[in-house]
Amino acid sequence: MKSRRKFSSSFKAKVAIDAIREQMSLSELSSKYQIDNSQISKWKKEFLEKSCMVFELEIPGKTSEKEVEKLYEKIGRLEVQIDFLKKL
């Protein structure tokens, strides 16, 4: 009995992008990557459905404008408190 092959997400993306480009037919891609036509179609469909998520994800380490605004407000309040306490 043949064991199931596991493919990395980068490999799936590569195959899906090749399928989207349509420079080769599904049968050509199938023989190139040694994968069934239906699997390539499935990966292509999934890739297209989930491609919008790329632009929805926030980049780690990148602060939004709202967060920056909140931090500036906090800095302003703390400076006022420091000035007040220096006068005492």
pLDDT for position 77: 94
Which residue, among 49, 42, 38, 43, has the nearest Cα to 10 in the 3D structure?
43
pLDDT at position 55: 78
- For residues 69 and 52, membership in a common domain is answered with no
**Residue 46: CB partners within 8 Å, gap ≥ 6?**
16
Question: Does the pLDDT at position 4 exceed 90?
Answer: no
The pLDDT score that the predictor gives to residue 7 is 92
In this structure, are 53 and 67 located in the same domain?
no
pLDDT tens-digit map of 8-61: 999 999 999 999 999 999 999 999 999 999 999 999 999 999 988 877 766 666
Classified as helix, coil or strand, 2 is coil
Q: What is the pTM of this model?
A: 0.61
Do 37 and 1 share a domain, yes or no? yes
Query: What domain range is 26 assigned to?
Result: 1-57
The radius of gyration of the chain from alpha carbons, rounded to an integer in Å, stands at: 26
